């Protein structure tokens, strides 16, 4: 399977593809209930995806982070429950411009499925909305496929890339990157040699993704170029917001970076791994 659509689409694309499955991926680090937010108001016809239980696994060691990827079989079952099959076009959104919706987009595109982020998400949507629970979905068949190893970096890969002149992008807010705020992580700081690339920096003030020229300049300033774009690693707190950098880099015309899924939550859970503080 080959991805055919852009990683970012707009409301016009949604209108032109009525069979596409709109997926609401609202989830909040502060503990707010994403499904309650969905029930209070969502894009008409959308389904809600549970990031914690459909887009992540449980019971893994702490060094695998707070949101490790599910098994291919578990992910396939989750997609079928959402009405996403082998040939379904999926368009994901949230209310933050892609902070959490990007996770589903990246997972599906890794497997060759047509999936995209709805530019601007719910904040800029002017079409019909609805309230209430997930609507029933038609039966779908989603074939389990192994996660492609070449799209991932583990802790050793990430650390060596950062230390040997590669580009490792940390999508967390600056105060978490510097260690001023530890938030939910075992230790403050960042992976030594990583560069701070907050996920929110790829958005315009109105909540849309910045234009491709602006995105290219943004990533070039962080050290990404055509020569090294195949060996960039993206991480964040738990492998969720890092997906915004994955989507934005591809949208800007670069190769998608490898994803360190365990991210800082996994790295900082290992006392043997160094933490760097400051900018």
Q: What is the CATH number of the domain that holds 154?
A: 3.40.250.10
**4 or 275: which carries more pLDDT confidence?**
275
Q: Classify residue 198: in a domain, yes or no.
A: yes
In tens, the pLDDT along 101-148 reads 999 999 999 999 999 999 999 999 999 999 999 877 788 999 999 999
Do residues 79 and 173 share a domain?
Answer: no
Looking at residue 95, its pLDDT comes to: 97
* pLDDT score at 16: 95
Paired tokens of 212: 């491709």
**What is the C-alpha to C-alpha distance for residues 68 and 54, in angstroms, rounded to an integer?**
11
Please report which confidence band the pLDDT of residue 40 belongs to, taking 50, 70 and 90 as the band edges. Answer: very high
In a domain, 273, yes or no: no
Residue 170 in this model has a pLDDT that exceeds 60: yes
223 with 169, same domain: the answer is yes
In a shared domain, residues 20 and 125: yes
Domain that holds residue 91: 8-130
pTM confidence score: 0.95
> Do the beta carbons of residue 110 and residue 255 sit within 8 Å?
no
43 and 118, same structural domain? Answer: yes
Q: Pick the more confident residue, 56 or 181.
A: 56
Q: Which of 42, 115, 41 is nearest to 75 (CA)?
A: 115
236 is catalytic: yes
How many structural domains compose the chain? Answer: 2
Q: What is the model's pLDDT at position 184?
A: 82
Is a pLDDT exceeding 60 seen at residue 2? no
Cα dihedral: 130, 108, 27, 162 (round 10): -150
Q: What is the mean pLDDT of the chain?
A: 95
Given 76, 236, 244, 246, which residue is catalytic?
Answer: 236
- Hey, how many other C-beta atoms are within 10 angstroms of the C-beta on 223? 15
Q: What is the pLDDT of residue 145?
A: 97
Express each pLDDT in 249-263 by its tens digit. Answer: 999 999 999 999 999
pLDDT (average), residues 172-201: 93
In a domain, 231, yes or no: yes
| Residue 6 pLDDT | 95
């Amino acid at each position: 399977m080959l991805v055919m659509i852009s990683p970012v689409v707009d409301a016009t694309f949604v209108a032109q593809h009525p069979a596409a499955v709109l997926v609401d991926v609202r989830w909040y680090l502060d503990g707010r209930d994403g499904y309650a937010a969905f029930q209070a108001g969502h894009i008409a016809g959308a389904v809600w995806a549970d990031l914690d239980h459909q887009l992540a696994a449980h019971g893994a060691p702490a060094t695998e982070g707070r949101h490790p990827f599910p098994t291919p079989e578990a992910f396939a079952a989750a997609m079928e429950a959402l009405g996403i099959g082998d040939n379904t076009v999926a368009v994901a959104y949230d209310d933050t411009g892609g902070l959490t919706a990007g996770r589903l987009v990246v997972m599906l595109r890794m497997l060759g499925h047509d999936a995209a982020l709805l530019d601007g998400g719910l904040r800029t949507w002017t079409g019909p909305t609805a309230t209430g629970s997930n609507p029933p979905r038609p039966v779908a068949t989603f074939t389990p496929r192994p996660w492609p190893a070449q799209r991932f970096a583990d802790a050793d890969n990430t650390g060596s890339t950062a230390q040997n002149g590669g580009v490792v992008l940390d999508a967390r807010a600056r105060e978490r990157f510097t260690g001023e705020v530890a938030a939910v992580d075992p230790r403050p700081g960042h992976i030594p040699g990583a560069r701070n690339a907050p996920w929110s920096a790829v958005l315009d003030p109105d909540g849309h993704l910045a234009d491709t020229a602006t995105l290219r300049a943004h990533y070039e300033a962080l050290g990404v170029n055509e020569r090294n774009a195949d060996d960039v690693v993206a991480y964040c707190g738990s492998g969720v917001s890092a997906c915004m950098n994955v989507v934005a880099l591809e949208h800007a015309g670069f190769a998608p970076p490898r994803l360190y899924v365990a991210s800082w939550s996994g790295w900082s859970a290992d006392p043997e791994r160094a933490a760097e503080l400051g900018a």
